[in-house]
A and B are shown apart, each in its own frame.
Chain A
């Protein structure tokens, strides 16, 4: 469990650095594809809602430290998406190409929806313009990158998933 946590956090840290230090400096891109969100979603799909929430919170906090957003803003958004991904993770089959694209698109739309609700409840929070080039690019790029990212992360599946307790299978059922 502890080792899995460490591997997951290190993976997310690498992705945060990749996003902020490399991808954000490519000014030709209208926005940065949310690779971090897809990583945390993949880990949540593997490990369920509790671990998904925790790891998404860590990912969000790292992003809050690295970006100019208010502290806790990204953490809150990602915790909700991580919980949802972990909740449905046991029920869906996310191999292949189509489903990862769908999961990628749904995650970005869910992010938009959460920001929309937050902007209604808290006037200080800015709304994402769904028709803007940056949002549409982020949606497209994140969706298209998801199958490749999932395929890559699947190579490290044993490192990123919490081992099942003795006497139980991965779904938690008694053997």
Chain B
């Protein structure tokens, strides 16, 4: 049977990809000219900054902490590089055009080995976060259901206490996410800023990928569970590049 939706999606998004490539190239060219114009200015500023940096004395404790942090990031990068040779780095070419049905379109499709339900993550400001999962695949493009969508439900755990719940989006990037089914009795052990990670139990996502942090905890008299809000680990308004994790590497990562 002919899948009209897939054919239509492939055709329209292939055009989108072409337009995105052209506009992106034009944007890069304009930016390059602008950069050249400011290059000399930046160079002078950098020379001054370099002199300042050379004079700065950094404490051993600070350096050690920074070293540990970098080591963690390096380990994650290595894990992605070695075990995830088939992982695909993709660029976002379009986003939702209405607030009702959240979606992101990326520039990798079945031609790059992308299949439905693969998890999508991103590294932003040096930390990893869950972006969503692939819901529709075209030849050269795919559609991602982002975690902030109301249709996206992720089995999640509180990283410290290991309590299990379900994280659901509230529809748009401005709003936070909800975490349901966390029992009231653990309320004392939870704190604002605690990290919520994927549990890996529903099979779609690998374990321990940060979803976000606890933003608000409300104890409701009529409910046996806590009403919790999560701040997403990813700033979707600044997200440009994502990583699609292939099936064979998910367990290892």
Contacts and interface: CB of A to CB of B under 8 A. Distances in A.
A2 B22 CA distance: 30
B19 A67 contact: no
Nearest to B8: A65
Interface in B10-37: 11-13, 15-17, 19-20, 23
Interface of B: 4-5, 8-9, 11-13, 15-17, 19-20, 23, 92-103, 105, 135-136, 143, 145, 149-150, 171-172, 174, 236-238
Contacts of A138: 98
Interface string A26-51: 01000110000000000000000000
Contact of B96 (A13, A18, A67): A67
A22 B19 contact: yes
B101 A17 contact: no
B9, B237, B238 — most chain A CB neighbours (10 Å):
B9
B150 A126 contact: yes
A31 B99 contact: yes
Query: What is the interface residue range for chain A against chain B?
Result: 20 to 34
A64 B8 CA distance: 9
A11 interface: no
The interface residues of chain A, by DSSP majority, are classed as helix
Contact of B16 (A66, A128, A132): A66
Given A13-B15, A22-B23, A65-B11, A132 B102 contact: no
B99 A128 contact: yes
A17 B99 contact: no
Contacts of A19: 97
Given A17-B15, A17-B16, A65-B5, A134 B172 contact: yes
Contact of A67 (B97, B145, B174): B97
Contacts of B92: 25
A61 interface: yes
A27 B95 contact: yes
A24 B96 contact: yes
A51 B100 CA distance: 28
B101 A132 contact: no
